[in-house]
Chains A and B, each alone.
Chain A
Amino acid sequence: MSAQQATAGAPTTERDEMEELQAHFDALIAAGETIEPRDWMPDGYRRMLLRQLAQHAHSEIIGMQPEGAWLTRAPSLHRKSVLIAKVQDEAGHGLYLYSAAETLGVDRADLLDALHRGQQRFAATFNHPALTWADTGAVAWLTDGAAVINQAPMTRISYGPYARAMRRVCLEEAFHVREGYDLMRALCEGTEEQKRMAQDAVDRWWLPAVALMFGPPDTTTGGADARTAAIGASVSRRAMAWGIKRHTNDELRQRFVDAVVPQAERLGLTLPDPAIRWNEERGHYDFTPVDWEVYRRALGENTHWARQRVAHRRAAHEDGAWVREAAAAYAAREEAAGRTEEHA
């Protein structure tokens, strides 16, 4: 009897405590303060963050591949240096983001295993192949350009470690976009053949950039039907309430189109969307809406390249297992001997 009373009383106290924690969390979000690793957070918030951080980190690592494939073929030593630095930055971004994810109590090795087993995703943009040298420029200009627009608001994301990682990421990404634009400019000012190569790359990378870098449509004006827009909006609303997201996918997509169309005009390149034209009334460029059909077409899922990206990663990981084992054994040996690693 008394035991029953005790257990009956406990949930009330726990509930009070939970309500207090939730209220504190809500107050921090409302005040625009950051949530830090030791702060209490709702499970849903932690799950949403982890999913996004893991996918973001994986995208940086997988994203090294299409451009990395051109490191050995860059046509000038200047461009080679720029491309090495860019791919290196992406590895660094992956590390910042995996570290941010680890503050939520997961291990990088487990996240990589999930990527290798196909259980966690990466940006579908990289399901597409980089077929020519101009692709490295188109990827940097369009894909990284989309990433900057997508990620600039994330420097103010509510989770502190993620926001701080994004500040560094965005600075470097902005530089990549400029380098990508500069690479395309050189091609456009070059021979007819070079110009054709540049146009061909833009023809192939426009859709992955505009459709995939911002996620599926989440508004009816963006081209979703009422039902999917409602689903999209409810997910977006939740992410917005938690300060994980600040704009809808379609708002950011419009911002990207508005930024890129004048750049393409200056380069003398045609974006492969006949619907692009300035809309005086809206004060924005119109473009073919990225509805679910367009989105699905862009995904490139279940293609040779979607499989190849993960297979390449997995092969590198498996080939390097003996090296990681050696490093761990050596570190343990040094620790046992009371030495910290860092030799002269």
Chain B
Amino acid sequence: MTLTSDTAPAVPEALRTDPDLAVQLLRLGDDALVLGQRLCQWITRAPTIEEDLALSNIALDLVGHARTLLTLAGRRDGTGRTEDDLAFTRSDREFTNALLTELPNGDFAVTVARQLAYTHYAVLYYEALAGCADPEPAGFGARAAKEVAFHRLHADNWTLRLGLGTPESARRMQAGLDRVWPYTAELFDEDDVLRRLVAAGTVPSPGPLRTLWEQEVTDVVTRAGLTVPAPGWEARGGRTGLHTEEFGPLVAELQSVHRQFPGGTW
């Protein structure tokens, strides 16, 4: 699954070092890694054994996406850092995941709301990525979009179950949506890096996907008898390494064993 340098064919002209592309690949990889890490915290604590299975399945896919994306990022930024170098030896401030993905799990409804927002975004973006000229991100996008489509189905179904289930579940699901919604805008932010990538025709920007994303999630939320939170305060910072206070402990836990044994091989 992971592309490693010893199995990869000789690098064609199109796959040369591209720092901008590496930045974008790292952002996507960090999103997947951090969200996967949060979902790992659910395992053995889910409401049913079926959900322990489902959430671990999704976490496994996300960690797989992170491995491919971080490997590509390390190759395209010219440093040759491996997936593990990037996952386990960067400081908190060097992670560029969107704040949405690091939000604490909260109750099951908060997790479902976070999944709903992320999966609809990720499918749209990965599908767009599948159409880009560079074969590595394109190949990844095509494969990952299919996997995240299953995660999206899982999130849609739970949004409906909780929204239409009991008064308590509806209240919690609405609270979950209200909790995560301010963090969704950052997913679609465009900065100079993305503008240059788009201008060069390397990879698409998520910016233009926001309208379609809003239509999709509004449809699910409305069918669930719930209300899409009104536009308001929008949280930002993750893409530039300015994270929430809850992020430090997440990274510390992620890296604890790796950092405890310098020079270790695993």
> What residues of chain A have their CB less than 8 Å away from a CB belonging to chain B?
61, 64-65, 68-69, 71-81, 84-85, 87-88, 91-92, 94-95, 98, 133, 186, 189-191, 193-194, 197, 312, 315-316, 319-330, 333, 341, 343-344
Secondary structure at the A interface, as helix, strand, loop or mixed, is: helix
User: How close is A187's CB to chain B, nearest CB, in angstroms?
Assistant: 8
Whether A322 touches B43, Cβ cut-off 8 Å, given contacts A75-B88, A91-B52, is no
Tally chain B residues at the interface, Cβ within 8 Å: 54
User: How close is B63's CB to chain A, nearest CB, in angstroms?
Assistant: 5
Q: What residues on B are CB-neighbors of A133 within 8 Å?
A: 257
Chain B, residues 77-115, CB within 8 Å of chain A (1/0): the string is 000000110011000000000000000000110000000
* Distance of A315 Cα from B45 Cα, bound (Å): 8
> What residues of chain B have their CB less than 8 Å away from a CB belonging to chain A?
2, 33, 37, 40-41, 43-53, 56-57, 59-60, 63-64, 66-67, 70, 83-84, 87-88, 107-108, 153, 156-157, 160-162, 164-166, 168-169, 172, 253-254, 256-258, 261-266
Whether A80 touches B63, Cβ cut-off 8 Å, given contacts A71-B43, A73-B257, A91-B53, is yes
* Distance of A72 Cα from B253 Cα, bound (Å): 6
**CB contact between A316 and one of B45, B84, B256, B265 (< 8 Å): that residue:** B45
Check if A341 sits within 8 Å of B56, measured CB to CB: no
**CB contact between B264 and one of A74, A75, A322 (< 8 Å): that residue:** A75
Whether A186 touches B168, Cβ cut-off 8 Å, given contacts A61-B49, A95-B53, A330-B161, is no
Q: What residues on A are CB-neighbors of B88 within 8 Å?
A: 75-76
Nearest-neighbor residue (CB-CB) of A321 within chain B:
B47
Q: What residues on A are CB-neighbors of B172 within 8 Å?
A: 322
Check if A64 sits within 8 Å of B43, measured CB to CB: yes
**CB contact between B261 and one of A84, A91, A193 (< 8 Å): that residue:** A193
Check if A81 sits within 8 Å of B44, measured CB to CB: no
Check if A323 sits within 8 Å of B53, measured CB to CB: no
Q: What residues on B are CB-neighbors of A191 within 8 Å?
A: 261-264
Q: What residues on A are CB-neighbors of B156 within 8 Å?
A: 343
